[in-house]
Amino acid sequence: MITEIGTEINDKPLVIAGKTYGSRLITGTGKYKTLDLMKQTLETSGSEMVTVAIRRVDLTDRSPQSFWQYLPKGMDILPNTAGCYNLADALRCARLARELVETNLIKLEIIADAKTLLPDTEALLEGTKVLEKEGFKVLAYTNDDPIMARKLEEAGAAAVMPLAAPIGSGQGILNPINIRFIRDVIKNVPLILDAGVGTASDAAEAMELGADAVLMNTAIAEAQDTVAMARAMSLAIQAGRLAFLAGRMPKRLYASASSPVQK
């Protein structure tokens, strides 16, 4: 039920791995200038889930000034395998995350190329099958191929996360048609757009295309005002979701008078 922007409308809640979330914005934790700024930005975003790169933080340091103490209370932690370039490393990282972060959630990310940071979808599919059998709830970071998206859902992924554009590029949604195709084939798990968002209009477009949620990091962390951008993203996602539910008017080749003459 969307109420914050003044309109109530029937809507299915966002459910990830059996848990219901009120916010459809998932945030990252990298690239912030300070940990204080990260905390303030995350709080402003209204996000209820935050993703953490397991290879880039000290999992054992829980001291008062550690990274972990700056995560807003109550946010669910989604460990990710960013920086893994093969299946073995990704599996090792996922298992370590479960042991030390105490969660079965894992964003599985296996990179095929250091320049583009595009995903190795063959390894991703195999890793999803392996981790699902071990009891993980796999959120699979993939490309915008609807066939691979369907295979990941069939393999047991708890969510399918196609990219909008290369990680950190800020190019927005390069292939909206494929995102629509993916929306059509993914029926039983959330579709979460991940990577490439640059500004609020990109987030709104993702929701208008039918995404259930959007995950972003750089678009907020590299904004000139991260707190303001976090708020903008939150509102854009609400607006985009409401527009999707409302139903877009059809496009027409010719004009259609908004005030027809009465005959």
* DSSP bridge partners of 119: 111
Domain boundaries, the chain: 14-246
Q: Is 254 helix (H, G, I), strand (E, B) or coil?
A: coil
Per residue in 28-68, pLDDT tens?
999 999 999 999 999 999 999 999 998 887 777 777 788 88
Query: Residue 119 carries which DSSP code?
Result: B
Give residue 263's pLDDT band: very low, low, confident or very high (50, 70, 90): low
Q: In the numeric block, which tokens belong to residue 65?
A: 């000034």
* Ordered DSSP codes for 19-32: EEES--EEE---S-
214 sits in which H/E element? strand 213-216
**pLDDT score, position 154:** 97
Nearest C-alpha neighbor of 97 from the set 113, 78, 84:
78
**pLDDT score, position 1:** 45
Q: Does the annotation count 33 as an active-site position?
A: no
39 sits in which H/E element? helix 35-45
Catalytic residue among 12, 73, 107, 251: 107
Nearest C-alpha neighbor of 109 from the set 152, 170, 151:
152
Per residue in 189-235, pLDDT tens?
999 999 999 999 999 999 999 999 999 999 999 999 999 999 999 99
CATH fold label, 14-246: TIM Barrel (3.20.20)
